[in-house]
Chain A
Amino acid sequence: MKAFRSVTSRAAVLDRLDVDTDQIIPKQFLKRIERTGFGEFLFFDWRKDPAFELNQPEAQAAKILLAGRNFGCGSSREHAPWALEDYGFEAIVAPSYGDIFRQNSLKIGLLPVRLPPEQVKELMERAHAGEELTVDLEARTAGGFPFEIDDFQRECLLEGLDEIALTLRGKDAIAAYEATHDAPFSTLSV
Chain B
Amino acid sequence: MSQSAGAAEPQRITYREACKQGIRAAILADPRVFLMGEDVARYGGCYAVTKGLSEELGEDRIRDTPLSEGGYVGAGIGAAIAGVRPIVEIMTVNFSLLAADQIVNNAASISHMSGGQFAVPVVIRMATGAGRQLAAQHSHSLEGWYAHIPGLKVLAPATHEDARFMLQPALDDPNPVLIFEHVMLYNREDVLDPAVTGVDISTAQVRRAGRDVTLITYGGSLFKTLEAAEALQAEGVEAEVIDLRVLRPLDTPTLLASVARTHRVVIIDEGWRSGSLSAEIAARIAEAAFFNLDAPIRRICSAEVPIPYAAQMEQAALPQVATIVATVLALVRSR
Task: Indicate whether A and B interact.
Answer: no
